[in-house]
């Protein structure tokens, strides 16, 4: 009965998608062993005479490419801010190009019923990758229920706007994976600003690797506390074709 109810809710989401962004993350301001912020950026709207305001989150997958949620509507001119130790850094880039999956239905962010709420964002100059800033690997291991990792985002926490743009993270695991719609279901709470944020784990689930791999991208609220993520293994070919590099 519970499984049927979740399937019905997922169907409603795909037909009548929400526009809610993000997450409410409880706890610390940086990820496992202080590694996670090195892979994550936040997107900002900046206006003359007004402070910049964070509106979505993304993951570095190449020096000049970021993967985020399509419904974030990131566009040329938006500011991309890098992070160090969970705090916004002074290093910023500008968006120059955005690519969406071929044939995507912009109304519900699907392609033939498969969730494709994704956008590849090209930057005006490369990020100086190294110890401070890193690119995440795109896992080739398809998600399974029970897979553990972390979610992260730069949204506000309990409505406190002064925390917006500061990365927060939480332990998480996949509750359900719907392969036919490429949808991951996780039990985490949401707040505006974290859409496009990652569900990540250590590469090959091995902390000794020193690298992290991206398993899913934060998409939308199903019904609190369930959030939907787009699985990244299913879109590896599209990502490689678009950025012109292996991942």
User: Span 177-200, mean pLDDT?
Assistant: 88
Do the beta carbons of residue 82 and residue 73 sit within 8 Å?
no
Question: What per-residue confidence (pLDDT) applies to 38?
Answer: 81
pLDDT band, residue 14 (cuts 50/70/90): very low
Do the beta carbons of residue 175 and residue 78 sit within 8 Å?
no
Instruction: Quick: pLDDT tens for 107-165.
Output: 889 899 899 999 999 999 999 998 888 999 998 889 999 999 988 888 765 555 455 66
Question: What per-residue confidence (pLDDT) applies to 7?
Answer: 46
Tell me how far apart the alpha carbons of residues 155 and 235 are, in angstroms, rounded to a whole number.
26
Closest CA to 95 of 196, 222, 167, 9: 196
Comparison of pLDDT for 18 and 205, the residue scoring more: 205
Closest CA to 105 of 199, 40, 181, 169: 181
Q: Please report, to the nearest 10 degrees, the dihedral formed by the alpha carbons of residues 127, 122, 118, 88 taken in order.
A: 40
Q: Domains, the chain, ranges and CATH?
A: 2-243 (2.40.10.120)
Question: What per-residue confidence (pLDDT) applies to 210?
Answer: 82
Question: What per-residue confidence (pLDDT) applies to 165?
Answer: 62
Instruction: Quick: pLDDT tens for 40-98.
Output: 888 988 777 667 788 899 999 999 999 999 999 999 999 998 876 656 677 888 999 99
């Amino acid at each position: 009965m519970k499984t049927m109810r979740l399937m019905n809710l997922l169907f409603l989401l795909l037909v009548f998608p929400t526009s809610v962004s993000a997450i409410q993350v409880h706890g610390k301001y940086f990820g496992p062993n202080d590694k996670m912020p090195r892979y994550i950026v936040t997107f900002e709207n900046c206006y003359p005479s007004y402070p910049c305001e964070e509106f979505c989150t993304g993951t570095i997958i190449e020096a000049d490419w970021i993967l985020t949620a399509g419904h974030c509507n990131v566009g040329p001119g938006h500011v991309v801010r890098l992070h160090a130790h969970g705090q916004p850094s002074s290093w910023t880039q500008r968006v120059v190009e955005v690519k969406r999956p071929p044939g995507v239905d912009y109304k519900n962010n699907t392609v033939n019923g498969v969730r494709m709420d994704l956008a590849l964002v090209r930057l005006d100059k490369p990020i100086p990758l190294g110890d401070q800033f890193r690119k995440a690997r795109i896992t080739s291991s398809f998600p399974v229920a029970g897979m553990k990792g972390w979610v992260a985002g730069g949204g506000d926490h309990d409505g406190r706007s002064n925390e917006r743009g500061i990365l927060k993270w939480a332990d998480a695991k996949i509750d359900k994976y719907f392969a036919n719609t490429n949808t991951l279901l996780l039990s985490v709470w949401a707040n505006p600003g974290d859409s496009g944020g990652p569900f990540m784990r250590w590469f090959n689930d091995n902390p000794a690797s020193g690298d992290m791999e991206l398993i899913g991208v934060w998409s939308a609220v199903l019904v609190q506390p369930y959030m939907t993520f787009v699985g990244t293994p299913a879109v590896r070919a599209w990502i490689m074709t678009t950025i012109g590099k292996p991942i």
